[in-house]
Copies of this chain bind each other. A is one copy, B any other.
Amino acid sequence: AIGLAVFASDALSSTAYATQEMMVILALAGAGAFHFSIPLSFGIVILLTILTFSYEQTIHAYPGGGGAYIVARDNLGELPAQTAGAALLMDYILTVAVSISSGVAQIVSAAPTLFPYRVWIAVALVMFIMVINLRGVKESGIVFSIPTYFFIIMMYTTVILGLLKYFTGSLMPVINPPEIEMIHAAHPITFFLILRAFSNGTAAVTGVEAISNGITAFREPRSKNAGQTLIIMAFILGSLLLGITFLSYNIGALPSESETVISQMMRTIYEGRGVMYIAGIVATTVILVMAANTAFADFPRLSALHAGDGFLPRQMTFRGSRLVYSYGIVSLSVIASLLIIIFQASVTNLIPLYAIGVFLSFTLSQFGMARRWWKVGHLQPGEERVEKGSTLRFENGWQYKLVINGFGALVTFLVMMVFGITKFLDGAWIVIILTPILVSIFYAIHFHYKRVASRLSLTNYNVPPKIRRHRVILTVGGVHRGSLTALRYARMITDDVTAVHVTIDPEESQRIQKKWEIWGDGVRLVVLDSPYRLFVEPLLEYIEEIAKNMQPNELLTIVVPQFIARGKATQLLHQRTADTLRKELLFQKNIVITEVPYQLGE
């Protein structure tokens, strides 16, 4: 049951905006077109049913987790997998932008004075989630389950109460519905308009794939539990969508940026903005924020998969690489915030960008599953084929399964095409352009790694000649415990040490030379005059002079003493010479720069 709570927020939260977004399009043909919202909802429930059957099969086939990326990779190949990855990436970004925008729309419905600040509230919410995720959240199932169950209970209570009122004839129309400028200039009710409304409604099914990604979080028997959860979730989602749409139509709710349809429905059923109304709005807002949060949780997981296959920086493979992980979280937040700002925190403006990525990943995933059943059908009974994401064994009835996923692929493909065509000018073009760009970036990274691998390959590798000479240059700023510690290190790794001191003050240089005679352990000290008060430049010149005359079997180590202070601020008082040298000598072969730390203690 925890599984439902964790993975359902993304899917269930869409009921907060799907009905309204259908109505926004229908409103173009006038209020008389609103009754289409009910058959359209049934259409979406059919789509949801198809997806549920399809994903139920995925869950059993990929008990280790069957996201679109894995299914496409194992069954369709590299390019479809990368395409699915790009689609998912955009799905995550838009899940954040849409969910937060819808959440803020609910807040603004309850507190209309906040309307002018909605963009900033939305950005602030994204930043809040970002900070939480940067600090690292333990995905505690119980904490996550409270808002989900609260939302489910609140929504069912509202819908059932509303239906009771409807059947007893006591359901009133909305008092003071928001004003919209549609009534005049009515559009004819064309087939294309109905398709556009349907496209908007498909936002309702975004997020149903979440469970198939997270099967490993379920208790054993995993696939069975996950599959059942999927079916329960789909049932809740479908019934809520139908109920909300039916009630919204019957109370005469109007789609508007200033008050959401959910808010109109709640205040009509609860007869005003009382406690129940507030509870309903809070429940809706919170589950939308939770939905946005899932994108933050999924994002590093997908990145790790990509990185493991060499299509994103390798270091993303590992968790706990805080720096890299942080880059990802911050990028996701910044891009989502930019979208929110550009589209003024309007779900209606954002929705044309949303579902296309989702349906692209659906299509690739279902088509990959169909391909998998084909492969399964052509194995010998008893034969096993191990793939990266799952193990293939012959199964009876593979033909039926192929038909189910094949049909799912066809339907989602058609929906995607409808969406792309009807929403092209509204913003879908952005996603259609961005997808190939993202895929190209993935490939550019991949080719870099391939090129590196071939450079590093040990085929035809001639073991380089044994090192004949290992010289050490020890940089000396003064004669003290720090430099003597470094000297000890230098003497240990070779017998061929030269100490070098850069001076801008002849007097000080004499003092250092005298001290070095006592403490320098017989090591030669070279003093480099720096009349122009430069430090790194004379040192580099000296090193490069030596490097020029080095044989291929010679090696040079620059040993740099480094004070380590306790505090970050005090550390700034001590130059990091090694870092500077390393940057300058990066491309010089056979030079190693070694920093020997000297801890200053308290």
Contacts and interface: CB of A to CB of B under 8 A. Distances in A.
Contact of A481 (B320, B321, B456, B596): B456
Interface in A545-602: 555, 557, 563-565, 570, 572-575, 580, 582, 586-587, 589, 591-601
A5 to B, nearest CB: 23
A589 B448 CA distance: 38
A400 interface: no
B319 A534 contact: yes
Given A456-B480, A470-B492, A484-B458, A573 B321 contact: no
A444 to B, nearest CB: 9
Interface stretch (A258-266, A309-317, A352-360): A309-317
Contact of A537 (B320, B494, B600): B320
Contacts of A455: 481, 600-601
Contacts of A479: 458
A186 to B, nearest CB: 46
B452 A600 contact: yes
Contacts of A535: 315, 318, 320-321
Contacts of A321: 535-536, 575
Contacts of A565: 448, 452
A304 interface: yes
A304 B533 contact: yes
A165 interface: no
Contacts of A319: 532-534
A414 interface: no
Given A458-B484, A534-B319, A575-B321, A564 B592 contact: no
A519 interface: yes
A464 interface: yes
A534 B320 contact: yes
A548 B234 CA distance: 55
Nearest to A480: B456
A488 interface: yes
Interface in A267-315: 304, 313-315
A318 B599 contact: no
A437 to B, nearest CB: 16
A21 to B, nearest CB: 38
Contacts of A570: 448
A504 interface: yes
B595 A313 contact: no
Contacts of A555: 489, 492
Contacts of A449: 573
Interface in A412-468: 445, 448-449, 452-453, 455-458, 461, 463-464, 467
Contact of A536 (B320, B470, B592): B320
B314 A575 contact: yes
A595 B582 CA distance: 9
A493 interface: yes
Contacts of A534: 318-320
B313 A573 contact: yes
A314 B574 contact: yes
A3 interface: no
Interface in A475-533: 478-482, 484-485, 488-489, 492-494, 504, 515, 519, 530, 532-533
Contact of A592 (B480, B533, B597): B597
Contact of A456 (B445, B482, B489, B582): B482
Given A317-B504, A319-B532, A564 B586 contact: yes
Contact of A467 (B458, B492, B595, B601): B492
A480 B458 contact: yes
A487 B315 CA distance: 22
Contacts of A480: 453, 456-458
A571 to B, nearest CB: 9
Nearest to A591: B597
A400 B550 CA distance: 65
B320 A592 contact: no
B563 A452 contact: yes
Given A456-B480, A572-B313, A504 B318 contact: yes
B314 A573 contact: yes
B587 A599 contact: yes
Nearest to A515: B458
Contacts of A488: 464, 467
A323 B587 CA distance: 21
A470 to B, nearest CB: 6
A567 to B, nearest CB: 9
B519 A458 contact: yes
A171 to B, nearest CB: 53
A570 B323 CA distance: 17
Nearest to A451: B600
A397 B371 CA distance: 105
28 contacts: A314-B574, A314-B575, A318-B504, A318-B534, A319-B532, A319-B534, A320-B532, A320-B534, A320-B535, A320-B537, A448-B573, A453-B480, A455-B600, A456-B478, A456-B481, A456-B598, A457-B480, A458-B479, A458-B481, A463-B484, A464-B488, A470-B493, A489-B555, A564-B586, A587-B599, A592-B594, A592-B595, A592-B597
Given A319-B532, A467-B488, A582-B595, 19 more contacts: A313-B573, A314-B574, A318-B530, A320-B536, A320-B537, A321-B575, A323-B580, A448-B570, A448-B573, A456-B478, A456-B480, A456-B598, A458-B484, A461-B484, A464-B485, A489-B592, A591-B597, A592-B595, A592-B596
- Give the top 8 A-B pairs by smallest Cβ distance, nearest first: A456-B480, A318-B535, A315-B575, A493-B493, A320-B534, A319-B533, A594-B594, A456-B481
